[in-house]
């Protein structure tokens, strides 16, 4: 899909002002490609530089993070927080600790977060942050000292009515705990709603760990239902083996599907009898080992592959749940050749533009991450509700709310795609529905 000629100057200016930030260019281009019919039908959305403003962060914060390793050497990393858009509520989005983190990555993630958060229907704006710190191989003490140093700067920019970070790649309950402890120490306030993804014993929400994976599968199931189909008996391949992948596997098994392959950064495992979820949890959540140990622990029938792509494994359904741009055009062609019928993004923008075009051309079901992986941030918002009311909900209560939210996101995307003449195109539906909600709020608030 090409950008409407009226919007080409907006894209050109984005590329000029944000040189070298390829992922950010990709994310903004995808949204602008969907907005030509919206602007033609509602020209007021192009007034007062609204498009330019929605693509420019309200605030970009970059800071150094000095910390001392176990040998007494001072290390230095870079920290980021991009507060992108607060028209709907306080900035909301995760913190990522990974060597690949830079400003362009954080901006792409923050931009996606605006529309993802809008699709939930909840009062939260979009932001993202993180650091190029790599927690892998670091001791507990080193991770604690890094997190404390990181929060020593970040604390002045966040708050339950300002900006509410959460976890992302490299940031789980442990890291959130260390950061929350430092925030409490500095501010002398037990402000539970300032961070989400907390432990259950100190303000966290049930289902938060499972939410993104569960939500992706809920969305997938809603898509299949539009074709009179279900997950029962389907063969599924999932990239990744972190929280998103693990809990997508769990929900797929509950709904009758069989996951036959999953991965980490060192390769992938194939188990035609079905991945043993308990064993994956033991390896990744408790032992914190590489997935290559799975075949030895599992026994006959499983094998580990270090070359090639996990998308070479034949399947009915593919869930890319690892990282951005992991599923390429070549991978998409292989999946289609092997008969894939549905793809749902569990990660943020894991399919390249070429892959998305191929899936849409083949008219298979395709769910963009800003819709299908919104379960994590939706449950973060539910955690904020519980913190604000000093309440704690049961697992069943919270999961029920999540299921309702994901069904509403699906229906909102489907109805919007239909309204704008592209039935079944969830990319168009998600981008337009998210854009309109944010744009209406921005217009109501004036030029800010």
Co-location of 257 and 333 in the same domain: yes
Residue 18 falls inside a structural domain: yes
Instruction: Give a yes or no: residue 36 inside a domain.
Output: yes
The CATH number assigned to the domain holding 279 equals 3.40.50.720
Same domain (yes/no): 246, 281: yes
Q: Does residue 164 sit in helix, strand or coil?
A: strand
Q: What is the mean pLDDT of residues 174-185?
A: 98
Residue 132 confidence (pLDDT)? 98
> Is residue 376 marked as binding?
no
93 found inside a domain:
yes
In 10 A of CB 91, how many CB atoms? Answer: 30
95-135 confidence digits (pLDDT tens)? 999 999 999 999 999 999 999 999 999 999 999 999 999 99
Does 165 lie in the same domain as 283?
no
Other Cβ atoms less than 10 A from the Cβ of 406: the count is 27
Residue 99 is part of a domain; what is its CATH number?
Answer: 3.40.50.10860
pLDDT of residue 285: 87
Tell me the C-alpha distance between 59 and 82, whole Å. 6
| pLDDT, position 307 | 87
Determine the Cα–Cα distance for residues 330 and 336; give it in Å rounded to an integer. 10
User: Same structural domain for residues 86 and 181?
Assistant: yes
The pLDDT mean for the chain works out to 97
Domain-ending residue, one of 33, 54, 75: 54
Angle between helices 353-361 and 22-33 (to 10 degrees): 30
Residue pLDDT, tens place only, 217-253: 999 999 999 999 999 999 999 999 999 999 999 999 9
Whether residue 116 is annotated as binding a ligand: the answer is yes
Alpha-carbon gap, residue 3 to 327, rounded angstroms: 23
Residue 243 labeled ligand binder: yes
The answer on 49 and 66 residing in a single domain is no
The verdict on residue 431 lying in a domain is no
Active site residues: 128
* Residue of 448, 370, 409 whose CA lies nearest to 109: 370
In a domain, residue 427? The reply is no
Residue 443: Cβ within 10 Å count: 15
Same domain, 226 and 313: yes
345 with 303, same domain?
yes
Domain end residue (candidates: 372, 392, 407): 372
Note whether 135 and 48 are same-domain residues: no
pLDDT of residue 123: 97
For the chain, state the CA radius of gyration: 21
User: For residue 1, what pLDDT band results from cuts at 50, 70 and 90?
Assistant: confident
Q: Are residues 271 and 350 in the same domain?
A: yes
Residue 389 lies in a domain: no
Determine whether the annotation assigns residue 360 to a binding site: no
Per-residue confidence (pLDDT) for residue 299, from 0 to 100:
85
CATH number of the domain where residue 41 is located: 1.10.285.10
Output the pLDDT for position 214. 98
Number of domains within the chain: 3
Mean of the pLDDT values across residues 33-46? Answer: 96
Q: Which of 140, 158, 190 is the endpoint of a domain?
A: 190
Q: What is the pLDDT of residues 293-339, one digit of tens each?
A: 999 999 889 999 998 999 999 999 999 999 999 999 999 999 999 99
Q: What's the rounded mean pLDDT across residues 427-445? A: 98
The response to whether 167 counts as a known ligand-binding position is yes
Both 219 and 312 in one domain: the answer is yes
**Which residue segment(s) compose the domain that 131 sits in?**
59-190
Give CA–CA dist 14/291, Å, rounded. 40
Same domain, 185 and 216: no
Which residues 6+ apart lie within 8 Å of 447 measured at CB? 48, 53
What's the average model confidence in pLDDT over 255-274? 96
Closest CA to 391 of 192, 238, 247, 166: 192
105 assigned to some structural domain:
yes
Query: Is 416 inside a domain boundary?
Result: no
Strands (E) located in 220-271: 235-239, 258-264, 267-271
* Whether residue 82 sits in one domain with residue 50: no
């Amino acid at each position: 899909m090409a950008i409407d000629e009226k919007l080409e100057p907006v894209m050109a200016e984005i590329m000029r002002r944000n040189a070298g930030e390829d992922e950010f260019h990709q994310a903004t281009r995808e949204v602008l490609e969907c907005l030509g019919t919206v602007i033609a039908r509602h020209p007021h959305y192009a007034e007062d530089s609204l498009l330019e403003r929605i693509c420019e962060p309200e605030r970009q914060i970059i800071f150094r993070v000095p910390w001392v390793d176990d040998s007494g050497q001072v290390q230095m990393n870079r920290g980021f927080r991009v507060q992108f858009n607060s028209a709907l509520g306080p900035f909301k989005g995760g913190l990522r600790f990974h060597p690949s983190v830079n400003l362009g990555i954080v901006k792409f993630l923050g931009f996606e977060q605006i529309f993802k958060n809008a699709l939930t229907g909840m009062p939260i704006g979009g932001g993202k942050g993180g650091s190029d710190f790599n927690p892998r191989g670091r001791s507990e003490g080193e991770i604690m000292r890094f997190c404390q140093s990181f929060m020593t700067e970040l604390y002045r920019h966040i708050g339950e009515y300002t900006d509410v970070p959460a976890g992302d790649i490299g940031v789980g309950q442990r890291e959130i705990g260390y950061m929350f402890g430092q925030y409490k120490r500095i501010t002398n306030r037990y402000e539970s709603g300032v961070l989400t993804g907390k432990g259950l014993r100190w303000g966290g929400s049930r289902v938060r760990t499972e939410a993104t994976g569960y939500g992706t599968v809920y969305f997938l199931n809603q898509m299949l239902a539009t074709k009179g189909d279900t997950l029962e008996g389907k063969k599924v391949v999932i990239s990744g083996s972190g929280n998103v992948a693990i809990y997508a596997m769990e929900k797929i098994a509950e709904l009758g599907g069989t996951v036959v392959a999953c991965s980490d950064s060192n390769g992938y495992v194939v188990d035609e009898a079905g991945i043993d979820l308990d064993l994956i949890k033991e390896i990744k959540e408790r032992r914190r080992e590489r997935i290559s140990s799975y075949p030895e622990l599992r026994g006959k029938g499983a094998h580990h592959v270090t070359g090639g792509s996990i998308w070479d494994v034949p399947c009915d359904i593919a869930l890319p749940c690892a990282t951005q741009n992991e599923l390429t055009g070549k991978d998409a062609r292989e999946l289609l050749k092997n008969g894939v019928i549905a793809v749902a993004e569990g990660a943020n923008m894991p399919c390249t533009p070429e892959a998305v075009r191929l899936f849409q051309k083949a008219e298979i079901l395709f769910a963009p991450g800003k819709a299908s992986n919104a379960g994590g941030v939706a449950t973060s918002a539910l955690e904020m509700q519980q913190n604000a009311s000093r309440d704690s909900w049961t697992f069943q209560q919270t999961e029920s709310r999540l299921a309702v939210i994901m069904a509403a996101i699906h229906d909102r995307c489907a109805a919007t795609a239909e309204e704008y003449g592209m039935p079944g195109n969830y990319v168009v539906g998600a981008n337009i529905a998210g854009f309109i909600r944010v744009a209406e709020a921005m217009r109501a608030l004036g030029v800010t």
